[in-house]
Copies of this chain bind each other. A is one copy, B any other.
Amino acid sequence: MATLTDIGLAAAINILSAVAFLIAFAVLRLQPINDRVYFPKWYLKGVRGSPTRSGTFVHKFVNLNLRSYLRFLEWMPAALRMPEPELIDHAGLDSAVYLRIYLIGLKLFVPMAILSFAILVPVNWTNSGTLENSKVEYSDIDKLSISNIPSGSQRFWAHLVVAYAFTFWTCYVLLKEYEIVASMRLHFLASEKRRPDQFTVLVRNVPPDPDESVSELVEHFFLVNHRDHYLTHQVVCNANKLAKLVKTKKQMQNWHDYYQLKYDRDPSKRPTRKTGFLGLCGDEVDAIEFYTSKIDELSEKEATEREMIKNNSKSIMPAAFVSFRTRWGAAVCAQTQQTQNPTLWLTEWAPEPRDVYWQNLAIPFVSLTVRRLIVAVAVFFLTFFFMIPIAFVQSLANIEGIEKVVPFLKPIIEEKTIKAFIQGFLPGIALKIFLILLPTILMLMSKFEGFTSLSVLQRRSASKYYLFILVNVFLGSIITGTAFQQLNSFIHQSATEIPKTIGVSIPQKATFFITYVMVDGWAGIAGEILRLKPLIIYHLKNFFLVKTEKDREEAMDPGSIDFASSEPQIQLYFLLGLVYAVVTPFLLPFIIIFFALAYAVFRHQIINVYNQEYESGAAFWPDVHGRIITALIISQLLLLGLLSTKHAANSTPLLLVLPVLTISFHRFCKNRYEPAFVKYPLQEAMMKDTLEHATEPNLDLRAYLLNAYVHPLFKDEDDDDSFSGGGEQEYETKLVPTKRQSQKNTPVPSKYNGSSSPSLPEIVKEQL
């Protein structure tokens, strides 16, 4: 078991590596050449242009101002300086509220740490004689933890009282936070400009009618049943095939550009490629011509597909976006049942246009139950049995297996160092690959479940991922053995035994989790700010593909907060903090450092880097709240189990009260605040309608809404003749007002023969 010195050493190493990351970041971000990697948000907003400042040639790529390197942490105060309302304006409510999750971490754990160190640490430390006398190995940390108290001691009352204090404090913070976020959301929705989704409802499962097309049917239905409010509608087309074609065409275009650029640089030799599989075999042909013909072919296919979708009634899905004259009318339609059969004419709020997940719009209602059942079973098996396929792959991926498949590699593999490497490394790789792929797998599952907006998909994936982390990281680290073995032993244990089994192991694992927090938390967050992968990809793209300023804009990958995978990871820290707050308070400072660092880093990223894909108005908050409550209840149950093994038995009924109180607190919050995230109050809608009617009596709403919910692939086409003009882009500027128009839309003089971009590769070549 680790001593304080060990932990100190580990902390030092991790702090050093984190600092190394931060310094690397500080250096890299100051280089103008990396500007688009570290400040893409500002480019997208049009505030920042390509570095064309005056100065020497080299200045454009390398920052030689040494003084700026000295202030290598200056981004931190800068990131913290932007006030919250401006942040909401700048990056949207989702991002601003996401940051509050880290803030909650600080709000929860800083007072907890103070209280613990003031009360529990002295109580634990001053108790002498238990650990010293026992033959069990112990460390200094254990002297600070509850392990140092002997069974049946009266000192456990201190822990009991502190557990109560922590529960009330957590509930208080959560309540306040729910209140703030709910009011932020309501304020955000209220102060929003006109948005198409305020007027629009998504109607699914329009029943088939032999006499009328879907479009006519929808129109007639709503003209009858919402006659004072119905305005217009937009049927949904099945454009999945077209989307595939467009994607392929874009890939071909990229290859074409690549070869074209290659040829331009070295006109003496025309680039060639082979026609076969992956360009590895087959006849050799001229690459540029090959891709040109491919692109032409695809363009033709695309055109016919477009025609087909427009004219063929089979590609019309039984779903439509129905828009209303007033927000009131839309709010009414979204919240009510339309027909006797509750599986037909399903209405729900339309997600905002960017948020729509178009592929899932046509899934029939009946199949949804089956799909959800399948996914539920799949998630269960994935969580508890994921080791089985991996073990299978691992058993294949050993030396003998490889030698059998590729015998000609035998001499190489038999080499001693390589053999050792394979044996040590290969089994781990299978697991690592699985863990990297996991969020993608979970997202695919969520998509299969049939949700129609990206925000909901992310939330559902996050729930699944949380379950996985809870079972496999948290429980898996405490109790050895695979999740399946745990499950098996839990089933065969009584309900009161389970918290005991886990609770007893909790204090022993404190050092492990401290290391985990440092490695995964600290270093991970510091790595996040470095953006190594986007940095490399950007420079590769820049080198091979970029010809124009527009290409460079596309090569930029600002990314966005990946709620589906990052939120469950934060939740793990909440869980660790709450579980160890009473048991081993020594863990708290490490978690506090994590939350503080993460808050600063993500605030910086949100301000400077991320470009949010959609805006759900913090609709994820009930999930976040619910998971912290779950963590709180788990911590209470584990403490109960731990104390009951310590023969502090008369504390059991007192501790049992805590989860009951917590659950009823949760129910109260659910009743009080959750509707703000699900429903849209009519008073609100009526107020905005009245206001709008007074200020803009001549507004042509029909024209405004006409193309809002056209499939993105058709939107580009319609751009020229549609009212809504710039489509998505124009829409976005409406959402977040900027001081300048985006460069993407303003005609930029081609700088192809100018100073900056084309010469970039040469610079890089020189450096190689």
CB pair A340 B679 closer than 8 Å:
no
Residues on B with beta carbons closer than 8 Å to the beta carbon of A369: 664, 667-668, 671
Query: Which residues of A207-235 have CB atoms within 8 Å of chain B's CB atoms?
Result: 221, 224-226, 228
Q: Quick one: given A225-B682, A343-B671, are A336 and B336 in contact (CB under 8 Å)?
A: yes
CB pair A494 B492 closer than 8 Å:
yes
Residues on B with beta carbons closer than 8 Å to the beta carbon of A337: 335, 675, 679-682
Residues on B with beta carbons closer than 8 Å to the beta carbon of A331: 336
CB distance from A242 to the nearest CB of B (A): 32
CB pair A377 B660 closer than 8 Å:
yes
CB pair A332 B340 closer than 8 Å:
no
A676 at the interface (CB under 8 A from B): yes
Residues on B with beta carbons closer than 8 Å to the beta carbon of A224: 683, 686
CB distance from A654 to the nearest CB of B (A): 15
Nearest neighbor of A182 in chain B, beta-carbon distance: B340
Nearest neighbor of A183 in chain B, beta-carbon distance: B340
CA distance A232 to B14 in the complex (A): 70
CA distance A495 to B487 in the complex (A): 11
CA distance A370 to B676 in the complex (A): 21
Chain A 258-295, CB-CB to B under 8 Å as 1, else 0, gives 00000000000000000000000000000000000000
The complex is assembled from copies of this chain, and their number is 2
Contact with A681, one of B332, B339, B373 (Cβ below 8 angstroms): B339
CB distance from A365 to the nearest CB of B (A): 8
CA distance A667 to B365 in the complex (A): 13
CB pair B660 A338 closer than 8 Å:
no
Query: Which residues of A461-509 have CB atoms within 8 Å of chain B's CB atoms?
Result: 490-497
Nearest neighbor of A190 in chain B, beta-carbon distance: B340
A241 at the interface (CB under 8 A from B): no
A342 at the interface (CB under 8 A from B): yes
CA distance A339 to B672 in the complex (A): 12
Residues on B with beta carbons closer than 8 Å to the beta carbon of A343: 671-672
Nearest neighbor of A675 in chain B, beta-carbon distance: B342
Residue among A340, A343, A495 facing the most chain B CB atoms (10 A cut-off):
A340
Nearest neighbor of A492 in chain B, beta-carbon distance: B494
Count how many chain A residues have C-beta atoms less than 8 Å from C-beta atoms of the other chain. Answer: 49
CB distance from A596 to the nearest CB of B (A): 33
A730 at the interface (CB under 8 A from B): no
CB pair B496 A686 closer than 8 Å:
no
CB pair B493 A681 closer than 8 Å:
no
Q: Quick one: given A331-B336, A660-B377, A686-B225, are A672 and B342 in contact (CB under 8 Å)?
A: yes
CB distance from A364 to the nearest CB of B (A): 12
CB distance from A34 to the nearest CB of B (A): 45
Residues on B with beta carbons closer than 8 Å to the beta carbon of A99: none
A684 at the interface (CB under 8 A from B): yes
CA distance A368 to B672 in the complex (A): 11
CA distance A490 to B497 in the complex (A): 12
A186 at the interface (CB under 8 A from B): yes
CB pair B342 A682 closer than 8 Å:
no
Chain A 347-389, CB-CB to B under 8 Å as 1, else 0, gives 0000000000000000001001110110001000000000000
CA distance A492 to B499 in the complex (A): 12
CB pair B491 A494 closer than 8 Å:
yes
Residues on B with beta carbons closer than 8 Å to the beta carbon of A494: 491-495, 497
Contact with A336, one of B228, B493, B673, B679 (Cβ below 8 angstroms): B679
CB distance from A83 to the nearest CB of B (A): 24
Chain A 659-701, CB-CB to B under 8 Å as 1, else 0, gives 0100010011001111110011111101000000000000000
CA distance A686 to B230 in the complex (A): 14
Residues on B with beta carbons closer than 8 Å to the beta carbon of A672: 342-343
CB pair B664 A373 closer than 8 Å:
yes
CB pair B225 A228 closer than 8 Å:
no
CA distance A582 to B332 in the complex (A): 50
CB pair B491 A682 closer than 8 Å:
no
Residues on B with beta carbons closer than 8 Å to the beta carbon of A335: 335-337
Residue among A186, A331, A683 facing the most chain B CB atoms (10 A cut-off):
A683
CA distance A496 to B660 in the complex (A): 25
CB distance from A371 to the nearest CB of B (A): 11
Q: Quick one: given A491-B494, A664-B373, are A338 and B683 in contact (CB under 8 Å)?
A: yes
Residues on B with beta carbons closer than 8 Å to the beta carbon of A667: 369, 372-373
CB distance from A355 to the nearest CB of B (A): 22
Q: Quick one: given A331-B336, A332-B336, A682-B336, are A676 and B342 in contact (CB under 8 Å)?
A: yes
Residues on B with beta carbons closer than 8 Å to the beta carbon of A338: 681-683
Nearest neighbor of A336 in chain B, beta-carbon distance: B335
CB distance from A308 to the nearest CB of B (A): 34
CB distance from A492 to the nearest CB of B (A): 5
CB pair B342 A671 closer than 8 Å:
yes
CA distance A490 to B495 in the complex (A): 8
CB-defined A-B contacts under 8 Å, sample of 22: A224-B686, A225-B682, A225-B686, A336-B336, A337-B680, A338-B681, A338-B682, A339-B683, A340-B676, A340-B683, A340-B684, A342-B672, A342-B673, A343-B671, A369-B668, A373-B664, A491-B495, A491-B496, A492-B494, A492-B495, A493-B494, A494-B495
Residues of A that sit less than 8 Å from B by CB: 186, 221, 224-226, 228, 331-332, 335-340, 342-343, 345, 365, 368-370, 372-373, 377, 490-497, 660, 664, 667-668, 671-676, 679-684, 686
5 closest A-B pairs by CB? A342-B675, A337-B679, A373-B664, A369-B668, A335-B336
